[in-house]
Amino acid sequence: MATSFENLLYDLDAASGILTITLNRPTKLNALNAATIDELGQAIDQARADAAVRGILLTGSGEKAFVAGADIAELASLDGPGAQDAAARGQAVFRRFETSPKPVVAAVNGFALGGGCELAMACHLRVASDNARFGQPEVNLGLLPGYGGTQRLVQLVGKGKALELLLTADQIKADEALRLGLANHVVPQGELISFCKALLSKIISKAPVAIGLTIDCVNNFFDEGGAAGFTAEAAAFGQAFDTADFKEGTAAFLEKRPAVFKGN
């Protein structure tokens, strides 16, 4: 029996076998809160178990944002251990997208920042609309990525560029994401969903078992020692929450003013 969701739309086209999961918090630019991450976990588990689902398209509602980041007000209420646990839970959910034997394509229809960029990177392929923006702005808040961003960005764009993007918090446009390998394709906003469905249709026309095994083998290339990196990221995420800089960074964000960091 299909699960109903509060923050997601779950739409399976039975004829094609393509499931569209849409993050649906438009007034929050689809920001990730704990409830939405839990629903993403339920949705991917349901999709993986459903034989009628052949491929998955993940996108955001509206034309402004795929996911504009985490819900900062909710994050600000956590302490260090709670933040570490939240990071580990988010990593586990995103990992279920990454390890899905059914191909997952992210249709990045606007801002993919922070947790949104991390979610897109957990998908097998990323297609960006021409107005998309990617970035990991966590250091602006006295934080670092907690849902796998320090690990997957390196895999996709290389160590040097990943460190530049992580340390500067710069946002990059879709064409730069394409050049770096963060995006597979860039298309006009109005063609994004149809392009992604055509790409998924091409993939799922191949042998399903072979597709799943190929995804598993590619993931295995990065998995040796990778678990330690994710564990270290979650621990560092929690550690950052116990700093005065984090409290200042989130307060400045919510108060819409520049942060003044003191390094403690």
> What is the pLDDT tens value at each position of the chain, 264 positions in all?
457 899 999 999 999 999 999 999 999 999 999 999 999 999 999 999 999 999 999 999 998 999 999 888 888 888 889 989 999 999 999 999 999 999 999 999 999 999 999 999 999 999 999 999 999 999 999 999 999 999 999 999 999 999 999 999 999 999 999 999 999 999 999 999 999 999 999 999 999 999 998 998 888 877 765 666 677 777 777 878 788 888 888 888 888 899 888 878
138 in catalytic set: yes
pLDDT the model gives residue 226: 63
Q: In sequence order, what are the beta bridge partners of 10? A: 21
Q: Which domains does the chain have, with CATH numbers?
A: 1-189+208-264 (3.90.226.10)
CA 110, chain centre distance (Å): 13
pLDDT the model gives residue 229: 63
CA 90, chain centre distance (Å): 10
* Set 138, 176, 233, 248: catalytic member: 138
pLDDT the model gives residue 156: 97
pLDDT the model gives residue 1: 46
* Set 98, 118, 164, 176: catalytic member: 118
CA-wise closest residue to 192 among 87, 133, 106, 73: 106
